[in-house]
């Protein structure tokens, strides 16, 4: 079986299926299409499937020309999971959120695998890319696949290869980002390396799926901890009346031993706010308390409240309270120059301020109307930034530093701006750094 699968991958006759066509799955799907494979896309959202089959994109940084190219090479999108029998490779890219108790929620993975299992066949490779705790692949996927009578490592091949997408990053694309891959058996790893090497420039093989799972968590926990550190430094610097951005920029001139991280209004994106809790939960099963990681999480989770307090004190200096004030949030995507709203701290800021009685509006050139989200909703559209509209707000809260904003124009006409991103480096009378 392995030799047949490797031969299909090598001569590009293998059919590649991607399950979950979001910010991770869609770019990967297109990469395989450009690498010369026929690709089949699965998603439970019919509107996504219909758009893709019509050659349309629903992600800002994914051009429709790329989707049209994939369609011209035989790409199809479907909600019919029984068609997975047509695929030689099944790559799962579905969300792994937290539940209300900040514990891992594997419901998307498990429901997806349960839908796929009845249609799996010998000769396939199954790869999980969703970020999760060590042990998920062999504890949850392996027994489900073998319940169909397929022997993992002989009939089918199971691997974990963590996604490393960075939406909107102009310097790294799917093809150029090295791909980590671990298998539950050596034969599985061989199949996984071959699958990804056919479309990605560099594949990094590790000894097991657990090592691959922990690799992804380490990458994101490293960022979360360092962001927690710099957020705490920001609070200290603010109390001491020191500009934290000046300090960071000065420290960054050291040519060794220092990597600059920058503070913000809170963590955003699907990975960094969530992934550390996958490891802390799993570590507790081994009698371990991840104190360092959890402390960073506490600091980062508290940042939206700290920003709101800064907004309240700024309004208080102007003789106003949060209640009844008109506040415009500049940027609601989780990071600059993308339309990605996953776990955006801007939304948390909007909810806290709204709960305190503020009249909330937002402006974001990448998000024309507030999208449907699982846990949040505002019936709002992006406000136009004119001299009159800017001046009409009691306070502007700069939450996401999109390049498209005309910051000089905004500052010229705003009553006051609370800047959470360090956009305004120089001292200005109506800019409060937060």
The pLDDT value recorded for residue 171 is 85
CA distances 250 to 231, 244, 355, Å, are 17, 10, 39
Picking from 16, 10, 141, 216, the residue whose alpha carbon sits closest to that of residue 206 is 216
Alpha-carbon gap, residue 411 to 424, rounded angstroms: 9
The CATH architecture one would assign to domain 2-211 is 3-Layer(aba) Sandwich (3.40)
Tokens of 318: 């102007």
Tokens of 180: 């980590």
The pLDDT value recorded for residue 273 is 87
Instruction: Extract the residue ranges of the chain whose pLDDT is less than 50.
Output: none
Contact 395, 416 (CB under 8 A): yes
Alpha-carbon gap, residue 9 to 196, rounded angstroms: 10
Question: Cα-Cα-Cα-Cα dihedral of 285, 289, 295, 296, to 10°?
Answer: -60
Tokens of 305: 């409240």
pLDDT digits (tens, 9 = 90+) for 30-50: 999 999 999 999 999 999 999
Contact 400, 333 (CB under 8 A): yes
- Distant-in-sequence, close-in-space partners of 137: CB < 8 Å, separation ≥ 6: 128, 158, 159, 160, 184, 209, 210, 213
pLDDT digits (tens, 9 = 90+) for 392-420: 999 999 999 999 999 999 999 999 999 99
Alpha-carbon gap, residue 31 to 37, rounded angstroms: 9
Domain ranges of the chain: 2-211, 263-433
- The DSSP secondary structure of 206-269, one letter per residue, reads -S-HHHHHHHHHHHHHHHHHHHHHHHHHHHHHHHTT--HHHHHHHHTT-SSS-------SS--S
Annotated catalytic residue 271? yes
The CATH architecture one would assign to domain 263-433 is 3-Layer(aba) Sandwich (3.40)
Burial track 83-116 (b if 16+ CB lie within 10 A, e otherwise): ebeebbbbbbbbbbbbeeeeebbbebbeebbeeb
pLDDT digits (tens, 9 = 90+) for 84-110: 999 999 999 999 998 888 889 999 999
Alpha-carbon gap, residue 48 to 306, rounded angstroms: 37
Strand partners, 15: 38
Alpha-carbon gap, residue 104 to 302, rounded angstroms: 20
Cα angle at 132 between 128 and 137, to 5 degrees? 45
Alpha-carbon gap, residue 56 to 64, rounded angstroms: 6
The pLDDT value recorded for residue 271 is 83
Phi then psi dihedrals of residue 374, to 5 deg? -60, -40
Picking from 413, 409, 378, the residue whose alpha carbon sits closest to that of residue 392 is 413
- Rounded to 10°, the helix 244-251/209-239 angle is 130
* Domain pair 2-211 / 263-433, same fold: yes
The pLDDT value recorded for residue 93 is 97
Alpha-carbon gap, residue 343 to 266, rounded angstroms: 10
Strand partners, 180: 204
Q: Is the dihedral of CA 340, 342, 346, 352 positive or negative?
A: positive
3 state SS of 188? helix
- Distant-in-sequence, close-in-space partners of 43: CB < 8 Å, separation ≥ 6: 19, 20, 21, 25, 49, 77, 79
């Amino acid at each position: 079986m392995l030799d047949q699968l490797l031969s299909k991958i090598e001569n590009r006759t293998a059919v590649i299926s991607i399950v979950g066509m979001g910010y991770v799955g869609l770019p990967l799907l297109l990469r395989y299409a450009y690498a010369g494979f026929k690709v089949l896309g699965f998603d439970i959202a019919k509107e996504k499937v219909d758009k893709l089959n019509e050659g349309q994109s629903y992600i800002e940084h994914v051009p429709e020309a790329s989707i049209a190219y994939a369609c011209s090479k035989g790409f199809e999108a479907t909600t019919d999971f029984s068609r997975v029998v047509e695929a030689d490779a099944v790559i799962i890219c579905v969300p792994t959120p937290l539940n209300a108790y900040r514990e891992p929620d594997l419901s998307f993975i498990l429901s997806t695998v349960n839908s796929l299992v009845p249609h799996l066949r010998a000769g396939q490779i199954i790869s999980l890319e969703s970020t999760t705790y060590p042990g998920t692949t062999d504890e949850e996927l392996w027994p489900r696949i073998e319940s169909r009578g397929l022997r993992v490592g002989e009939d089918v091949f199971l691997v974990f290869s963590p996604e490393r997408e960075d939406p909107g990053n102009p310097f790294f694309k799917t093809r150029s980002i090295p791909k980590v891959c671990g298998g539950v058996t050596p034969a599985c790893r061989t199949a996984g390396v071959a699958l990804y090497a056919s479309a990605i420039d560099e594949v990094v093989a590790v000894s097991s799926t657990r090592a691959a799972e922990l690799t992804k968590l380490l990458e994101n926990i490293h960022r979360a901890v360092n962001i927690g550190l710099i957020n705490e430094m920001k609070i200290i610097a603010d109390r001491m009346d020191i500009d934290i951005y000046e300090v960071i920029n000065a420290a960054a001139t050291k040519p060794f031993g220092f990597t600059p991280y920058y503070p913000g209004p809170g963590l955003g994106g699907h990975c960094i706010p969530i992934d550390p809790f996958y490891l802390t939960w799993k570590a507790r099963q081994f009698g371990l308390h991840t104190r360092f990681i959890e402390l960073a999480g506490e600091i980062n989770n508290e940042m939206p409240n700290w920003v709101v307090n800064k907004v309240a004190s700024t309004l208080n200096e102007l003789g106003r309270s949060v209640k009844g004030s008109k506040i415009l949030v500049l940027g609601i995507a989780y990071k600059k120059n993308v339309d990605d709203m996953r776990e955006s701290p801007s939304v948390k800021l909007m909810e806290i301020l709204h709960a305190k009685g503020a009249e909330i509006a937002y402006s974001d050139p990448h998000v024309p109307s507030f999208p449907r989200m699982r846990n949040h909703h505002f019936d709002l559209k992006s406000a136009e930034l004119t001299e009159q509209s800017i001046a009409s707000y009691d306070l502007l809260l700069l939450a996401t530093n999109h390049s498209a904003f005309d910051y000089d124009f905004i500052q010229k006409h705003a009553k006051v701006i609370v800047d959470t991103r360090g956009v305004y480096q120089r001292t200005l009378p109506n800019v409060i750094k937060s």
